[in-house]
Amino acid sequence: MELSYDPIWDESGELRRGCTVREALAWLTRFGGRTAGEPVMINGVVYKVGHLLYDPERPDVADKPIAHVFDGYYHQLNFSV
């Protein structure tokens, strides 16, 4: 599987404008070794990746653009939107 486009980071290593939480998580589960059962923290609230990607009742935060990516403990994903 070829890694041709990174929706999170642009060519200069900057956060790509407009990338939503759901787009980032879909890419990370496909290419980044993340799973649907892992936790992700968004604006201080913990969600499961699968809930944000696949649940028809997913929270609105899943479709918001990412404003900042934080480095988390034990490789936990942390975003602010």
Query: Residues 55-76: pLDDT tens digits?
Result: 999 999 999 999 998 876 677 8
- The residue count of the chain comes to 81
pLDDT of residue 3: 59
Q: What is the pTM of this model?
A: 0.85
25-51 tens-digit pLDDT:
999 898 888 899 999 999 999 999 999
pLDDT of residue 64: 96
Element (DSSP H or E) covering residue 77? strand 77-80
